[in-house]
Amino acid sequence: MKRWMRLVPPAILIIVAACASGRAGSAPADLNMLSGTQIAHFENALQAVRTMRSQWLHGRAPGDLDTAGGDVRVLRDGIEVGGVDALQSMPIEGIAYIRFYNGIQASQRWGLGHANGVIFVASHAGLAPGGGGPQ
């Protein structure tokens, strides 16, 4: 058998694998994160979350029996500021990103009372050295 014929099947396999992997260098979207750029055209954090990730406002799926943790909690630069209504008083200017932590992640990170999840708002000031951004 000619040498080039032995090289054709591996070359086809490599080409097919490269095509199946999607666009080179593209990362999947993080559905638990909203960047400052994504939310720049909204007036406040509640409007941005309600429009782009409304499921964050409910935390657990409706009908869950274990709701002992209460509502979704909101933290700004690591300091708890209340429930989702607190997002309305947070203007978009100065927000670096907004991230959602589900109930398991939030309970592991901040302890009991966060079983329905946490919406973490990181300001540009909180990201500065000595700020309250997540560790």
**Residue 68, C-beta contacts closer than 8 angstroms, at least 6 positions apart:** 115
- Across the strands, what pairs with 75? 80, 120
pLDDT digits (tens, 9 = 90+) for 80-100: 999 999 999 999 999 999 999
Residue 39 pLDDT > 90, yes or no?
A: yes
Whether this prediction's pTM lies above 0.85 is answered by no
Structural domains of the chain, ranges and CATH numbers in brackets: 28-127 (2.170.130)
pLDDT, mean over the chain: 79
Which structure tokens are listed for 135? 């560790």
Q: Is 126 exposed, middle or buried (0-12, 13-18, 19+ CB in 10 A)?
A: buried
pLDDT digits (tens, 9 = 90+) for 109-127: 998 888 899 999 999 887 6
| Residue 80 backbone dihedrals phi, psi, to 5 degrees | -70, 130
